[in-house]
A and B are shown apart, each in its own frame.
Chain A
Amino acid sequence: MSDTVDPLFDRETLLDHVGHDVAFVAELAEILDQTATRHLAALRAAVRAGDAPAIVLAAHTLKGALANFRAHAPVELARSMEDAGAAGSTSIPDHDIDRLEGMIRDVTHALRRLSVRT
C-alpha cells in the first residue's frame, strides 16, 4: 500500500481543510480518542437501558465527529445505529458497537501516524 493513501479516511481533504497543520491533526486525534470513548460508553449504556433517543444522540454525535475525517466505514456504521434508534429500535448488537470502536481506534492511530510522518 502507498504511504500516502489511507483507506480509513480522506487524508488529502483533511490536510487541505486544516491547512496542512499536522500539529492540529495530532490535537484532533487526541480529542477523538477522548470524546469517542465517552460517546461509545453512552451508546452502550443507552442500548442496555433500551433508551432509543439516547442511542440516536450518541450515534449521531459519533457520526458527526467521524465525518470530519470523511471516514466512510465508521460513519456509515454509526449512521445505521442512529437510524435504528430513530426507528425506535434498541437492539444494537454488542459486536456492532465493538466493530465501531475498533474502527475509531484505527482512525485515531492513523491520525497520529499522519501527524508525525507528514
Chain B
Amino acid sequence: MRILLVEDDPLTRSMVAHILERLGHEAIAVASGAEALRALRDYGYPVVVTDWVMPDVDGLELCRRIRQGDGDGPYTYVIVLTSREGKERYLEAMDAGADDFINKPVDVDRLAARLRAAERVLGLHQEVKALRSLLPMCSYCKSVRDDAGRWKRIEEHLHEREDADVSHGICPTCYVVHVKPHLGE
C-alpha cells in the first residue's frame, strides 16, 4: 500500500519508514502535520501512520482535518503511533477520528497485522461504495428502490438524490412504436 508516514523525529521517521518498506509498502515520510495535509491534498494516500506529539498540527488535529475532508472520495485509514499510553489516550485518539492506535516503540509484527487490517477495511469500503452506486430497478415498471427500501419513480429518485429534474419527451423509436399507430385513429 502507499503509506504516508508523519513523524517529526528523524530517527523514528527513518526507522518506521524502513520497517514499512521491509513489509512491502511504499512509504512516503514527512516531518509535520502541515506537510502531511499538503501531501494528502496533492497526492492522496489510503493509509496515514502518524505520530501524536508534533509541533504545529499534531497527530490528533491531523486526524480531525482528514475526517473533515472525508466525502465521496476514497477513505483515508489513519493509525496513530505514540508513546502515550492508557485507555484515555486511546479513546482520545479514536474520538479524533483515528482508526487504530499503536504504541511506540513500533513492533514489526503488530504493525504488519494492523496494516493487514487496514487493507481489509479499505477493501470493504470500496465494495460498499461500489454497491451504493448500484441502483435497484424494477424490471417491469422501472421504479427504483431508495436506501430506505421505498419504491419510487425514477424521476422522483433523481430529483431527491441527484438534485436532477427530468423533462419528458418522446424518442424517435417510441414515436414509431407507440405514437404513430394512434395518429390515424
Contacts and interface: CB of A to CB of B under 8 A. Distances in A.
Given A24-B18, A57-B53, A57-B55, A64 B12 contact: yes
Interface residues of B, number: 18
B57 to A, nearest CB: 15
A32 B11 contact: yes
Contact of B18 (A16, A18, A34, A65): A18
A61 B108 contact: no
A72 to B, nearest CB: 11
Interface string A47-75: 00000000001001101110111100000
B169 interface: no
Given A57-B55, A67-B83, A31 B18 contact: no
Contacts of B9: 35, 61, 64-65
A93 interface: no
Nearest to B84: A60
A56 B156 CA distance: 59
- Interface residue tally of chain A, by bracket? 20 to 34
Given A27-B14, A28-B14, A65-B12, A17 B19 contact: yes
B11, B18, B104, B105 — which one has the most chain A CB atoms within 10 A of its CB? B11
A18 B19 CA distance: 6
B11 A28 contact: yes
Given A16-B108, A17-B19, A24-B18, A31 B83 contact: no
Contacts of B10: 31, 34-35
Given A16-B108, A17-B19, A64-B83, 20 more contacts: A17-B108, A18-B15, A27-B14, A31-B10, A31-B11, A31-B14, A32-B11, A34-B10, A35-B9, A57-B55, A60-B53, A60-B83, A61-B9, A64-B12, A64-B105, A67-B83, A67-B104, A68-B15, A68-B104, A68-B106
18 contacts: A16-B108, A17-B106, A17-B108, A18-B22, A27-B14, A28-B11, A28-B14, A28-B15, A31-B11, A31-B14, A35-B9, A57-B53, A60-B83, A65-B11, A65-B12, A67-B83, A68-B106, A70-B105
Interface of A: 16-19, 21, 24, 27-28, 31-32, 34-35, 57, 60-61, 63-65, 67-70
Interface of B: 8-12, 14-15, 18-19, 22, 51, 53, 55, 83, 104-106, 108
